[in-house]
A and B are shown apart, each in its own frame.
Chain A
């Protein structure tokens, strides 16, 4: 059942285009992330759903109702801002209850709901505190409670964790997901952090320069990126330009080295240039296991990243990164050694654009 629908949304500020032909349908209770770098239009699109920006053309429909021109204070969507935006002159309780006060609810009803919300975010004891007495993470939780107190049809979050420390960010994003699933509320989450998007979302909308690059669930986005941008932005990626050798058999070559592509090169001509990509974790040393493609390489650099060891190697004239798990039995080569690495033909992606 479609809950929220964005149709042909287009937004330009004077001569510059911020969002171009944005189309999306969101189901009830779905958690959708808008993921992309700064300036890609994700926040602008969110603000159009919230009502703080007017689309230059296109429609926003919620539950069949056209919201496009409805003022923001009449949309019944809850919004959480990057800067928390708690009202400094009000206590936590007053902040959380503000939307209910505006709606004219009785004092008892407000108090009951506020306490309910505070226990949802596990901050019962902070009832009478003021925002300046709270840490960043606490403020954001209150902001979340405030947005949810009015029981909105949609929850919109604009990079809510960007201003917080890494550890708090991790804890809080779990909590956001937990609450969202508990309440079953349709949610749009804007972020530039792909880890956040991947771990929280039912679906991800990857955006760049105002356009949608790809929409899919985290698994699809990560493993089957459809464009160069998505592949590069989500996860790390090795890319290299190769020339088609045999379209039928799916063989292309770079720096004189042939590689097999399971995906095939249909529609490409011999001699044509394609961009191929391989995820670092899809490589392994030949000594461990043999796969379809085998390459000779020279070890350029080895970096310990904690649980992962990143090996920088030179295949042909190009630099590739290989990620392998750090374990005691790992026998790493030295810098300058010549080694052989392998990867599956299914791991080789052909990128469009």
Chain B
């Protein structure tokens, strides 16, 4: 009996090879419910008004000064950490691929990059508070790195000649960041914390590209008379540029979307788009739920642009590397 059913089944499948897609349905159904539907909800909600009609009015939310502040801050943080993390990460990645760092260093950094790139959120915030917060361990060490100006007469004289009143200053603690107005709960604190997972992400992303730099290119260029600096300027950096830009974009997107770290560290005191959306979820802070959707939509739009630019750059990068 089952043989006949199987026979008929096979005849059916012969007719419609597209039937094979049925096997993927459980997955697609799950995706529709928990990915597509929520996305649609946000997307359509962004362009719906309170009564349910189509509108672009929700986009006025971007004129809200708080919202603007949040966007500017988010863009700032993302751009700065993308640059700082990218720069630092690139140099470290270079060191462990071609720069000749010792083998043990290479392994430790690689392994740790894989771990640290996924760090974030609450434990990271706590770590930074414990390390460089007001009562942090490193802060304490830095605070203790003081010296008595009286013992350095020459230095005191030098400072006095420059117009600094040295009579009140006895203890100089130049390494205490808090004297310079640093706060972990400010933009600079956030940047410091974000960089912790940004620069390993850069290392992970740019290492394949660096390894793709063929040794022969360097050898050919020196053979033709170029110095290492010229090689970097004329060959390596141009070839790497798409990958570097792409990786930076990745870092940018990563920071732009981050929520947990900022929440745990600043508690919402720094205006960021992700934090703002979080507040919107909790309770309607904008007065119009659909404006919240527009806010989210704006974020998605920026992320999409970032990712599209990233994949275009990746394609360019791999094209050159393939040769």
A contacts B directly (C-beta below 8 A): yes
Q: What is the interface of chain A, defined by CB distance below 8 A to chain B?
A: 54, 69-71, 74
Contact B6 A74 (CB under 8 A): yes
Contact A70 B6 (CB under 8 A): yes
Interface residue count on the B side (C-beta < 8 Å): 7
Other A-B pairs, 13, CB within 8 Å; known A70-B7, A74-B6: A54-B10, A54-B13, A54-B14, A69-B6, A69-B7, A69-B10, A69-B11, A70-B3, A70-B6, A70-B10, A71-B6, A71-B10, A74-B3
Q: What is the interface of chain B, defined by CB distance below 8 A to chain A?
A: 3, 6-7, 10-11, 13-14
Q: What's the A-B contact tally at a CB cutoff of 8 Å?
A: 15
A54–B10 alpha-carbon span in the complex (Å): 8
Output the nearest chain B residue to A51 by Cβ-Cβ distance.
Answer: B10
State how many angstroms separate the Cβ of A69 from the closest Cβ of chain B.
4
* Interface class of chain A by DSSP: loop
Output the nearest chain A residue to B2 by Cβ-Cβ distance.
Answer: A74
Output the nearest chain A residue to B6 by Cβ-Cβ distance.
Answer: A71
User: Which residues on the B side are within 8 Å of A70 (C-beta)?
Assistant: 3, 6-7, 10
A254–B6 alpha-carbon span in the complex (Å): 61
User: Which residues on the B side are within 8 Å of A74 (C-beta)?
Assistant: 3, 6
User: Which residues on the A side are within 8 Å of B10 (C-beta)?
Assistant: 54, 69-71
Output the nearest chain A residue to B7 by Cβ-Cβ distance.
Answer: A69
The list of the 3 closest CB pairs from A to B, nearest first, reads A69-B7, A69-B10, A71-B6
User: Which residues on the B side are within 8 Å of A54 (C-beta)?
Assistant: 10, 13-14
A54–B13 alpha-carbon span in the complex (Å): 10
A239–B58 alpha-carbon span in the complex (Å): 83
Scoring A54, A69, A70, A71 by chain B CB atoms within 10 A of each residue's CB, the highest score goes to A69
Output the nearest chain A residue to B8 by Cβ-Cβ distance.
Answer: A69
Output the nearest chain B residue to A71 by Cβ-Cβ distance.
Answer: B6
Output the nearest chain A residue to B11 by Cβ-Cβ distance.
Answer: A69
User: Which residues on the A side are within 8 Å of B14 (C-beta)?
Assistant: 54
User: Could you list 15 A-B pairs, sorted by A, with CB under 8 Å?
Assistant: A54-B10, A54-B13, A54-B14, A69-B6, A69-B7, A69-B10, A69-B11, A70-B3, A70-B6, A70-B7, A70-B10, A71-B6, A71-B10, A74-B3, A74-B6
State how many angstroms separate the Cβ of B200 from the closest Cβ of chain A.
35
User: Which residues on the B side are within 8 Å of A71 (C-beta)?
Assistant: 6, 10
User: Which residues on the A side are within 8 Å of B11 (C-beta)?
Assistant: 69
User: Which residues on the B side are within 8 Å of A69 (C-beta)?
Assistant: 6-7, 10-11
User: Which residues on the A side are within 8 Å of B7 (C-beta)?
Assistant: 69-70
State how many angstroms separate the Cβ of A67 from the closest Cβ of chain B.
10
Output the nearest chain B residue to A54 by Cβ-Cβ distance.
Answer: B14
A74–B5 alpha-carbon span in the complex (Å): 13
User: Which residues on the A side are within 8 Å of B6 (C-beta)?
Assistant: 69-71, 74
